[in-house]
């Protein structure tokens, strides 16, 4: 892989000569002089690679890197196969940009096509776009997909990730769209409250499955109830769980969206991530972003093209359904590489290991005197109400290099386990908490 180095003085001279300029000052001569810096920057002299690396290591040492992570809430610690990191970091992928001249970007278009195909396979949906910034953006963009002229209400249960809901409300705050809260009972959607709010003005019901508290919804029943009122069902999901759970399509979902960070994308202090959006065929023209399709060229060889582009720069602005300006091509490529490397059986194992370890951990916490807040079935996240305050739990586990679950209140904790959570680490946590309790 080549290094990213600035152009040399000789290379700059050749380029200036080709452009008909004698110096860099001539290149910027048409700019207003008051916008041009008239003094040198007085930068320090460059340092050796050894010195720079030493400085960066010193800065990195200030970070706290935990051996065990028991926190999820939208960002999860999963194992990323080495082949995914090595291939996705190749220069031609890292430096590639959005394919405006699509016929010249066959490699990028193929990577988008493979990503779309993989996401359609695990969600069961007909089409998938490429792509949006993160899961919260996907949820907000999905509102425009399902809204109708005379249907301006969106039902949103209180067990959807609060940050996702916040972004949805930010998107719609100046539009004639009403977001209506739906109550929850035992961590899942309260059917009675939902029935009281479903009417002919509702465009869609948004659900999260597994939801923010880790609980599993009865998606099929929710789909039947929603469709009977003439509304659509949008499911926000963790794609990793689809290796084990029924696909959204199998449950009758119209639009499947979510955060694809668990698919081989590092936590990276919160981004960049990957929002995925997939839908049934009747909604294909409402998908934001773009869709890459497969075709053949004039010689009959396999080729790729941008089949659908819904952004305002490609079609008449008044008909645009989205202002998304770029796709997360590198993140989408990484996710498709991850799915290809683990395969269907590997994705199922990751999901199953995550679920089994979470249930083992929950049972051990209950033995210590913690209580599960909700009686509903859960996947790999769950909420406990503990005999110890969260601040004490976090401080205690920090001492043994473990990142505690997310505190929801003074005594409520949202825990998460993945395939990277070792049984011996769970036992170590239980042992330490037992010491504190005693």
Cβ neighbours of residue 245 closer than 8 Å, sequence gap 6 or more: 209, 216, 351, 379
- What does the pLDDT read at residue 1? 39
- What does the pLDDT read at residue 308? 79
- What does the pLDDT read at residue 344? 96
- What does the pLDDT read at residue 167? 97
How do strand 275-279 and strand 255-259 relate by DSSP bridges? antiparallel
What are phi and psi for residue 140, nearest 5 degrees? -65, -40
- What does the pLDDT read at residue 101? 66
Cβ neighbours of residue 35 closer than 8 Å, sequence gap 6 or more: none
Task: Please give the chain's pLDDT, 438 residues, in tens.
Answer: 355 567 888 999 999 999 999 998 899 999 998 898 888 888 888 889 999 999 999 999 999 999 999 999 999 999 999 999 999 998 888 877 766 666 778 888 899 999 999 999 999 999 999 889 999 999 999 999 999 999 999 999 999 999 999 999 999 999 999 999 999 999 999 999 999 999 999 999 999 999 999 999 999 999 999 999 999 999 999 999 999 999 999 999 999 999 999 999 999 988 899 999 999 999 998 888 888 999 999 999 999 988 877 655 555 566 666 777 667 889 999 999 999 999 999 999 999 999 999 999 999 999 999 999 999 999 999 999 999 999 999 999 999 999 999 999 999 999 999 999 999 999 999 999 999 998
- What does the pLDDT read at residue 45? 85
- What does the pLDDT read at residue 107? 87
Q: Is 194 exposed, middle or buried (0-12, 13-18, 19+ CB in 10 A)?
A: buried
- What does the pLDDT read at residue 147? 95
**Residue ranges of domains in the chain, CATH in brackets:** 68-79+343-437 (3.90.1150.10), 82-339 (3.40.640.10)
Largest CA distance in the chain: 80
Q: Where are the alpha helices (DSSP H) in 147-302?
A: 162-172, 191-197, 219-228
- What does the pLDDT read at residue 207? 98
3-state secondary structure of 392: helix
Whole-number Cα distances in Å, 356 to 24, 230, 298, 343: 63, 38, 53, 20
**CA-based nearest residue to 319, from 330, 327, 308, 311:** 311
């Amino acid at each position: 892989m080549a290094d990213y180095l600035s152009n040399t003085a000789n290379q700059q001279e050749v380029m200036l000569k080709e452009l008909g300029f004698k110096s860099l000052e001539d290149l910027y001569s048409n700019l207003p002089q008051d916008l041009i810096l008239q003094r040198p920057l007085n930068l320090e002299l460059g340092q050796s690679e050894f010195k720079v690396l030493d400085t960066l290591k010193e800065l990195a040492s200030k970070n706290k890197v935990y051996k065990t992570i028991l926190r999820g809430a939208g960002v999860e610690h999963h194992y990323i196969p080495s082949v995914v990191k090595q291939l996705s970091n190749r220069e031609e992928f890292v430096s590639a940009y959005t394919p405006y001249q699509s016929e010249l970007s066959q490699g990028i278009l193929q990577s988008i096509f493979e990503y779309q195909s993989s996401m359609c396979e695990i969600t069961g949906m007909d089409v998938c776009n490429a792509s949006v910034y993160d899961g919260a953006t996907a949820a907000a963009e999905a509102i425009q997909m399902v809204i109708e002229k005379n249907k301006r209400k969106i039902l949103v249960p209180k067990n959807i990730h609060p940050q996702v809901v916040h972004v949805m409300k930010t998107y719609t705050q100046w539009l004639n769209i009403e977001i209506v809260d739906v109550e929850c009972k035992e961590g899942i959607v309260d059917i009675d409250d939902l029935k009281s709010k479903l009417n002919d003005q509702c465009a869609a019901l948004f659900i999260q499955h597994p939801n923010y508290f880790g609980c599993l919804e009865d998606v099929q029943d929710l789909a039947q109830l929603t469709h009977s009122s003439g509304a659509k069902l949008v499911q926000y999901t963790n794609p990793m769980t689809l290796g084990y759970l029924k696909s959204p399509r199998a449950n009758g979902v119209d639009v499947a969206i979510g955060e694809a960070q668990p698919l081989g994308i590092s936590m990276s202090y919160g981004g960049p991530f990957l929002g995925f959006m997939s839908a049934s065929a009747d909604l294909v023209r409402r998908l934001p972003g773009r869709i890459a399709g497969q075709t053949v060229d004039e010689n009959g060889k396999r080729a790729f093209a941008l089949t659908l582009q819904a952004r305002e720069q490609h079609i008449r602005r008044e008909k645009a359904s989205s202002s998304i300006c770029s796709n997360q091509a590198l993140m989408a490529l990484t996710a498709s590489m991850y799915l290809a490397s683990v395969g269907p059986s590997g994705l199922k194992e990751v999901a199953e290991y995550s679920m089994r370890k979470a249930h083992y951990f929950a049972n051990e916490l209950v033995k210590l005197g913690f209580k599960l807040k909700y009686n509903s079935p859960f996947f790999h996240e769950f909420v406990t109400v503990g005999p110890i305050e969260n601040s004490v739990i976090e401080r205690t586990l920090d001492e043994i290099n473990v990142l505690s679950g997310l505190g929801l209140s003074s005594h409520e904790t949202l825990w998460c386990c993945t395939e990277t959570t070792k049984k011996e680490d769970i036992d170590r946590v239980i042992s330490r908490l037992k010491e504190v309790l005693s």
